[in-house]
Structures are given as structure tokens and as C-alpha cells.
Structure 1
Amino acid sequence: MSQSLITTPFGADSTAAEVIDGVDLTGKRAIVTGAASGIGVETARALVNAGAEVTLAVRDVDAGRRVAAELGGMTSVAPLDLSNLTSVDEFVAAWQGPLHILVNNAGVMAVQERTISHSGFELQFATNHLGHFALAVCLHESLAAAEGARIVSVSSSGHLRSPVVFDDIDFAFREYDPFAAYGQSKTANVLFAVEVSRRWADDGIVANALMPGGILTALQRHLDPAFGAESEERFRAAGSRLKTPQQGAATSVLLAASPLVDGVAGRYFEDCREAAVVDHRDDFGIHGVAPYALDPDNAERLWDLSLKLIG
């Protein structure tokens, strides 16, 4: 890339609380999807502690209420099932007023059997990308009203496993692979941020994508129980280690609220700094961003396709 990579004083070991220290979000309104567990809870916690009014958009409302009670502050809960576009419509219909921060955090990973969502699409693509896309598009007016809104798209190094295969999004013609499907959806998360930043720039809306790091949370619930131990061993062998949820939320919070990235748009971050573009997926496969995930033509094509898919 011709532009220089953005760095910050923070890194892989930084926590969400450290990243947001000194930031005042009083008067700001935020939505965090998937905030009933994992890094979503810690992202919401950091925003609430900085004074924001935060809505936890969750499938499990009871779990969301327990988190809200723990977080305190101006925290509310609303039902949202991203795999069901009707649920997205209902959530948006209930939203009123400006929206300053939208953290598209919820996700599903490596569903073992090909599954079609309520809305008729492969489940990981439907949940990780299409539901979030519909949410943002339908909340565009509220985001524009904030006059400086930020969208945070939680992607993954899993995007290095697959580009968006436009001719077969739903694995109707190719053999279904859980991680390829996950990778495709995570590439879509990055492309979404790229296109938001081009298409909505005049509305003062910026979007960036990120890799939170290797963290063991409920996201891995579809995988073999041995996955956690194997992951720790793989990280150790590469001279790295897994993060805590508090560390995993740091890059999300940086992009959501830090003045260090004011005006930054359409980029992919890891460990609280912009990631380098790589030309292949190495054996460790956790660092860098693929060129196809930042490609503006891919981003525009995905946007147009997604509009058609959500009707």
C-alpha cells in the first residue's frame, strides 16, 4: 500500500481499559452486537466506563441482561439475531436518534455442517456479514446524524483462508468447508469497512476492520474441545500466546473511541496497529491482511450483491 501504516503506543498486550483511558464518551451512543459474551462484553464495558450509552444487541436477551446488570452505567439490552433479517428490521425500527459507535462484533465460527440461515443464506456469511451489513445500512440515517460516527467491523485472520467467492457464496456448487466459509465471511467484514469508508465519507462516517487476536471464547463452540489446547500449543510454537478477552477487545475499542485514529478509514488493524498487506498465508496464518480483502473493486461488488440479497 502506498499509504504508511498506522501505529499507536499500544500493542498485543494492551487491554481495552488501557486503550480508552482518558477518553470521555459522555453523550455518545453505541451499539455492540454479540455483547453477551467474550470480547463483546469487554468492548461494551470499556465504552460504558468511558461514559457512553451502550445498547447490547444480543440473541440471548437473558444473558444480555445479566451482562448489563454487571456493567451498570447507561446500558440497555435489545434482541438481535443477525442470521434473521426480520430480526434486524425489528431492531432498527426500535432505534431512535443518532448513533455514534456501531461495533459489529457478533459472530459464528466454523459451523461443521453446511447450514442455511432463516433468511436463506449460508449461516456464517449470513450472520457475520449480511446481518451486520443490513444493520448498518438500515441505521445509516442515525449514523449520519452523529456527524462523525465510527463503525468497527470485527474480522479475523481467518479471512486469510478465503476470499469472497462471489459465484458461490452459499457453497451450493463446491464442497462445504467450515473454515473456508468462516474465512469468506471474515473477508466480507473487511470489504464492508473499505466500501463504507468510500461510500459514506461525505456523511462523516468511517469504518475500519480488525483482527482481535487469538482468544478462546464461546466463538469456538462448534469446534472439537481439544481446539483450545491445540491453539495454545500452536501460539507457543510461533513465539506468541493467546490473549485474554480484555486484551482481545483492545483493538475494537481503539477503533471505536480513541482519538489516535480520528479520521482513519477503510483499514485493517491487529494488535492496536494497522496490519501489513501479505502476499500469502504463512504456516502460523494469523498476521497480515490479504490484498483481496482491501480491494476496492471487490468491496463495491460485495456491497451491490449484499443490497440485492437483503432485498
Structure 2
Amino acid sequence: MTRALLTTPFSAASTTDEVLAGHDLTGIRAVVTGASSGLGAESARALAAAGAQVTLAVRNTEAGAATAAAIARSVGAAPAVVPLDLADRSSVTRFVESWSGPLHLLLANAGVVSGGLERTAEGWELQFATNHLGHFGLVTGLRRALGAGAADRGAARVVVVSSTAHMRADVDLDDLHFDRRAYDPQIAYAQSKTANSLFAVGVTQRWAQDGIVANTVNPGGVATGLQRNFTQSQKDSLAAAEAAGVFTYKTVEQGAATSMVAAVDPRLASSGGHYLDDCQEAYEVPDDADLADHPHGVKAWALDPDRADRLWRVSTQLLCA
């Protein structure tokens, strides 16, 4: 019997404040990565406005401090600012080691887009290393804190920001870092976004029995600093997708609303591995489905539990090497 998809009263036009209306997050400790601008900054502001104790995990602490000051002026509560460079394993380790006490919500929002092949010190392809491996190390490193959060409140949530781009490519588990394939930045970004969804499946597979679940969100088309490194080809592709009706640009308040659904919807406190789009659970489409025909779907490869398990084991091996 097919499970009914989760629906909410919200839509693509809903905003963060509309989703959080009536929710009191006092006592909730939340970490938002990539929170110095764009979707991350708006998510942090909205959570703080609802009473959460928010930590901005940011690569640029000067920009993070400016965002924290703006949030304080807006809602009267200043988030903490802690440095975090997801492409630097030592930075992730320092963040994990600096954390003390329970953690109730981790919003894995940060991401990079590269216009050409860039590698980390380990030789890892930068987009996969940042968008997936960095968050994998952060979340698994904070496993105990999330467990304490679940014990404290009955549940702890991980929200992972993916993208419609995941529909362009599965994760190539035999060549994650383009050591053998010709490099295509759009395919590299796409596989990192598929990995984001598989990671949420993996977290839920392993930790749901301890009260920790993860869900994936697609914010939709939002003009943010993420596009600053787009090549002309990527810009042309985005323009063509918009013209074809694959997406309509949202404000950051609308784009971050789906993250807030994953953060507060009571049904998602104990149910994970879902992919949300426009504040609803997306319907699954075959791996050969065309993006233009299913702009609000999720590819089967992004929800496959076996692939999620294999990606988890490969990621663990890479970070433990």
C-alpha cells in the first residue's frame, strides 16, 4: 500500500514567519550553517524570532557578526557566531569539540557552487566535499549532542538543504571526486545535492530509534550569493529552466519556508527521510524522468535506502582516512 504524502497548509508563496506562527521555540538550541547571508540568515532570523537559541555556523565570521547584529535588532535576541569552514576538516572538528550541551535542531544549509574543478587539501572535489562531506562530518560529530537534544525534548531534527539540481545526477559512488570522469561543474553540484538527500535517509535509518531524524528540503529558485560563481553556461541553463516554467523565483522568506516546515511540523519530529518541496512532501519520480516534466518531484535515486547506506559507509571511510 502506497504511503500518503505529507501535506501542509503552506505553499510556494508561504514565508518563514507564516510557517512558524504559533510555534514557541523557547529552549530549542539550533545550529544553522551558512547563516551569514541568504537562506541561512533568514532561517536563523525566523528561528530566533520564534524563541530559539541560534548559533550561526559561518565561514566568514565578520559577515556572520553583521548578520547576528541585524537579527538582534530585528527580534531582540542575538545569535552566537562560531567559525565553520565545511571544506576544512580541522574546522569541522573544532566546531564539534567546542559544542557543549544538547542540540535540538541542525539546519545544514550551507553550500557552494563552483564554475570549474576545485579540490580540497585532501584532493576531494570541492562541491561534494563542502555540500556533503563537511555536513556529514559535522552532523555525525554532533551525534551525542543531538541524542541529548532528543532526550531533552523527545526529538532532535536535522534539516538538509538540497536542490532541484539533484534531478540531474545520481551520486557516482565509484568516482565521487571526478578522478576518472570529465569534470562538469553542474553534474558535480547535482551529485552533491543528491548526496544531501541520501544523507537525510541515512541519518534516519541509523538514528531514528534514538529520536533523531533528518529530512531534506528544496528551497526552490532563490537569487542568493550561491550563484556568484556560476559560469555563463550555468546562468544560461538557469534562465532556460525559468523560461520553461521549471521554477519561479522566490524571496528568501519564501525559499526558507520549507526548511521551517521540516524544523517544526510535529509529524516530522519522528519521521524522516522525506524530501520536501514548496512546503509539501515531493512525489517520487523515476530516475529517467525529465526535470521539465516534474519540477516538484524527487528522483528515486535520492531516496534509495541501499544507496544511502553505501554513501554513508564511503563517507565514513573518507573522513576516517
Q: Please give the TM-score of this superposition, normalised by the length of structure 2.
A: 0.92
2:47 corresponds to which residue?
47
Residue among 183, 189, 212 paired with 1:176: 183
Question: How much has 1:282 moved relative to structure 2?
Answer: 3.0
| Counterpart amino acid of residue 78 in structure 1 | V
Deviation (angstroms), 1:266 = 0.6
Gaps of 5+ in 1: none
- 1:133-212 map, 5 Å: 133-147=136-150, 148-212=155-219
Relative distance call for 1:229 and 1:181 in structure 2 (3 A) is closer
Deviation >6 Å, runs of 4+: 225-230
**Residues 224 and 284 (structure 1), Cα distance of their counterparts in 2 relative to 1, 3 Å cut:** farther
Q: Greater CA deviation, 219-228 or 242-251?
A: 219-228
In the TM superposition, residue 23 of structure 1 has moved relative to its aligned partner by: 0.4
Task: Report SS of the residue matched to 1:207.
Answer: strand
3-state DSSP class of the match of 1:92?
A: helix
In the alignment, the residues of structure 2 paired with residue 136 and residue 261 of structure 1 have an alpha-carbon distance, to the nearest angstrom, of: 18
1:218-277 CA-partner distances (Å, limit 9, x unpaired):
011111479668746642542852101110000011111233533221110000000011
Contact 1:52 1:74 in 2 (8 A): no
- The 3 A distance-change label for structure 1 pair 289 and 62 is same
- Contact kept, 8 Å, 2:161 with 2:217, in 1: the verdict is yes
| Counterpart residue number, 1:78 | 82
Whether the 8 Å CA contact 1:84–1:119 is kept in 2: the answer is: no
CA offsets per residue over residues 110-131 of structure 1, 9 Å max, x none? x122111134310000000000
Letter in 2 for 1:193: A
Residues 168-193 of structure 1: CA distance to partner in whole angstroms, max 9, x if unpaired? 00001010000100011000000000
How high is the sequence identity, in percent, across the aligned residues?
Answer: 50
Of residues 243, 250, 253 in structure 2, which corresponds to 1:246? 253
Compare 254-263 and 73-82 and name the one that shifted more: 254-263
Where 1:167 maps in the other structure, the secondary structure is coil
CA contact (8 A) 1:232 1:242 kept: no
Tell me the equivalent position of 2:101.
97
Aligned residue identity for 2:124: F
- Listed as ranges, the gaps of 5+ residues in structure 2 are none
Q: For the structure 1 residues 230 and 160, does the alpha-carbon distance in structure 2 shift closer, same or farther, using more than 3 Å as the test?
A: closer
Which of 277, 282, 298 is the matching residue for 2:291?
Answer: 282
1:307 to 2:316 alignment: yes
Tell me the alpha carbon deviations over residues 129-178 of structure 1, each in whole angstroms, 9 at most, x when there is no partner.
00000000000000000111000000111111111101100001010000
* Alignment of structure 1 residues 218-297 onto 2, 5 Å: 218-224=225-231, 231=238, 234-238=241-245, 241-259=248-266, 261-279=268-286, 280-283=289-292, 286-297=295-306
Residue aligning to 2:307: 298
Distance 2:279 2:240 in 1: 24
Q: Which residue pairs with 1:128 in the alignment?
A: 131
| Contact 1:57/1:77, CA 8 A, preserved across alignment | yes
Q: How many residues align?
A: 310
Change (3 A) 1:59 1:284: farther
